[in-house]
Amino acid sequence: MIETEVQLEEKLATPNEHDVAFMRQLAGDVLILGAGGKMGPSLARRVKRAAEIAGTTCRVIAVSRFSSAAEREALQATGVDTIACDLLDRVALAKLPECENVLFLAGRKFGSTERVDLTWAMNTIVPANVAEQYRHSRIVVFSTGNVYPFVTAASGGAREPDAVAPRGEYAQSCLGRERVFEFFAHEYGTRCLFFRLNYAVDLRYGVLVDIARKVYQREPVDLTVAHFNTIWQGDANSYALRSLALCDAPPRILNVTGPEILSVRETAEFFAERFACPATFRGEESETALLSNAALCFQLLDAPEMRLSELRELVAHWVAIGGRDLHKPTKFEVTDGKF
């Protein structure tokens, strides 16, 4: 069991054999844009450690506004180079080093209904700035399964060739991000991959955590969206790194999530059993939900290392011992796209 944030960060940042093997054959440095968010720090450390184990001289550069000096210092202590930069500032962006491999994590979701203009700026203007600056690089573009329509659980989830139908301005702006990079791919041959992720869990946030905390705090669990996908953030980190090899022009699309389609009700009842308390519910269970099928990801990059059974136990234990919560709910139960 994971007892502390130090242990959690260590597990998230520990590369697997696939990561190390990939770094042995990767040419060039790795630039992580938007590295100060939820996934960025552990991803940067994972890439750096994989490079060290592989014995390469790859430089790992983390770029963010770095509102937390401690977070920046912690990254630097592991050998990751850091640069403070506002990616909306084209002058500052132009000063960043050239890099063959780019992991683009920058974006805005939470609070997007309060400053819709900022959401669109972060999710479309920043991509335009970055795509122009790094048009000769390979770019893994973090995106979201929110661009897909809601589907039934029986469908197995939306697949990469399926038509998009984003609900709400957040999801629309994320599709805008993809379209901007797609434009540069067509105009300049920029090699990209759209990394459509939903929903990552690192114990401090994620759908499993949202449900577990509701049950633990004796609050009703919303059943409006009755099913969901999830994946351990460490596995998502590994897939993001190795997706650099899949970048192409026109851009490729890769759904990234776990293999299971989970029931909200059954998940809540699992946590209720672990916490020895009743699970209560509200709302009517809908027939459709935001669900992705990640079979292509598993075919190309292998199955996730973290099994659902282990992940649920880790979440239950973390919540029960009072582990820190980032207070960034996924709002997976939202159906109108207003996050």
CATH for 17: 3.40.50.720
C-beta of residue 185 within 8 angstroms of C-beta of residue 191:
yes
Query: How do residues 47-59 score in pLDDT, each as one tens digit?
Result: 999 999 999 999 9
Find, among 213, 215, 298, 204, the residue nearest to 255 by Cα.
298
Query: Hey, is 245 helix, strand or coil?
Result: helix
pTM of the predicted model as reported, rounded to 2 decimal places: 0.96
Q: What is the pLDDT of residue 112?
A: 66
Task: Using 70 as the pLDDT threshold, list the residues of the chain that sit under it.
Answer: 110-113
Q: What is the pLDDT of residue 336?
A: 80
Residue 185 lies in a domain: yes
Strand partners, 98: none
Counted domains in the chain: 1
Omega cis (within 30) before 149: no
Residue 197 lies in a domain: yes
Q: What is the pLDDT of residue 103?
A: 98
Residue 46 lies in a domain: yes
Amino acid at 119: T
Residue 314 lies in a domain: no
Q: What is the pLDDT of residue 331?
A: 87
Residue 65 lies in a domain: yes
Residue 30 lies in a domain: yes
C-beta of residue 290 within 8 angstroms of C-beta of residue 228:
yes
Domain that includes residue 72, residue range: 5-202+231-259+290-305
| Percent share of the chain, pLDDT over 90 | 91
Q: What is the pLDDT of residue 108?
A: 83
Look at the alpha carbons of 76, 3, 271, 234 in this order and tell me if their dihedral is positive or negative. positive
Q: What is the pLDDT of residue 337?
A: 77
Q: What is the pLDDT of residue 37?
A: 84
Q: What is the pLDDT of residue 143?
A: 97
Residue 54 lies in a domain: yes
Q: What is the pLDDT of residue 111?
A: 60
Residue 335 lies in a domain: no
